Amino acid sequence: MADLTQRLFGTQWQSPVLLASGTCGYGEEYAELIPLDEIGGIVTKAVSLEPRSGNPPHRVSETPGGMINAIGLQNVGLAAFIREKLPWLRDNLVRARVLINVVGHTEDEFEAVVAGLDGEDGFLGFEINVSCPNVKDGTLFGTDPAGLAGLVATLRRATARPLVVKLTPNVPDIGLYARICEENGADGLSTINTFPGMLIDVGKRRPVIGNVSGGVSGPAILPMGVYLTWRARQSSSLPILGIGGIRSSDDALQYILAGASLVQIGTALFVDPEVAVAVHRGVEAYCTESETPLRELVGGVQIPDRD
């Protein structure tokens, strides 16, 4: 049997496959559909200091090759998350790892959420969301080198837990942002969040999405995600969680060969909730057939010499 285990962020991972933030709620919603504790882990829906009610409808729409969403980081807020959501994660996920996705309007808010959760049980670490395109200030830190450096340094002081920064694809050079995260104490990178996009209802001559624009996800963004993962890998030695358009084990393996140690699946879950288990099995079969442990495949893409 192939060896899919890896030691990352100070812990053992039984599988490289996680469910992406915003597409699996806080875990409990998903547990009836698949054996959650058998996959690599989950990243929770974003948690902010205060509850957020999100954007006006419509919040989602299908596009060719994926979907567009402008949920607007709707969530129950820090206090209710600790009271109502975290206990389930603590009691039910033993082998699957939990990362809590964190958002804030300001550095202080990010810090308050991280500090407020730090002493609680039931999760491994944080995924810092500086890359949400569908709220006004969602990419403020993710597109500002100085702001990102300050934020990561502050959060590093606030917690000793794994700190993963989720990067936006919407910058000229993702490598710069990857390096900034590493230099300021992050433990890992998630590449990538959604791309900003817009759909127009030509009959009504109005935007389809209530927020006017939203984030594009799904198979359409796979090549960009693979490329940006590869670019981030070249600029930083931090472990990477590859995300964007994954719906098969071949898709996941592309991210792994590009440099991702772990992968996350989002939009594809809405088509087939069992896709994460199928991707895990497919990666396992690939490792078995090639007699290669998973960790040896990470970053293993062979780039031909060019004159």
- Which residue bears the tokens 């500090």? 115
Smallest distance from ligand FMN to CB 135, Å: 10
Query: Which residues does 67 contact at the CB level (< 8 Å), separation at least 6?
Result: 60, 61, 216, 217, 218, 267, 270
In this structure, are residues 30 and 24 in contact, taking their beta carbons and an 8 Å threshold? yes
Please tell me what DSSP assigns to residue 84. I
CA distances to 9, 251, 279 from 285, in Å: 25, 14, 10
Smallest distance from ligand FMN to CB 127, Å: 7
- Using the minimum distance from each CB to ligand FMN, give the nearer residue, 22 or 162: 22
- Using the minimum distance from each CB to ligand FMN, give the nearer residue, 161 or 304: 161
- Using the minimum distance from each CB to ligand FMN, give the nearer residue, 271 or 285: 271
CA dist., res. 173 & res. 88, Å (int): 39
Smallest distance from ligand FMN to CB 266, Å: 3
In this structure, are residues 69 and 221 in contact, taking their beta carbons and an 8 Å threshold? no
CA dist., res. 164 & res. 188, Å (int): 4
- Using the minimum distance from each CB to ligand FMN, give the nearer residue, 4 or 24: 24
Which is catalytic among the residues 24, 132, 181, 287?
132
**Cα R_g (the chain), whole angstroms:** 18
Indicate if 132 belongs to the active site.
yes
- What are the structure tokens assigned to 153, written together? 């340094």
- Using the minimum distance from each CB to ligand FMN, give the nearer residue, 86 or 265: 265
Interface contacts to ligand FMN, rule CB under 6 A: 20-23, 45-46, 69, 71, 73, 101, 129, 132, 166, 193-194, 217-218, 221, 243-246, 265-268
Residue 166's beta-bridge partner residues?
A: 129, 190
Q: Would strands 125-129 and 206-207 be described as parallel, antiparallel, or unpaired?
A: unpaired
CA dist., res. 26 & res. 30, Å (int): 8
Smallest distance from ligand FMN to CB 33, Å: 16
In this structure, are residues 62 and 119 in contact, taking their beta carbons and an 8 Å threshold? no
Smallest distance from ligand FMN to CB 277, Å: 15
CA distances to 122, 131, 250 from 136, in Å: 31, 11, 35
- Using the minimum distance from each CB to ligand FMN, give the nearer residue, 101 or 211: 101
In this structure, are residues 254 and 243 in contact, taking their beta carbons and an 8 Å threshold? no
**Ramachandran angles phi, psi of 179, nearest 5°:** -65, -40
Q: Determine the residue type at 281.
A: R
Smallest distance from ligand FMN to CB 153, Å: 21
Catalytic residues: 132
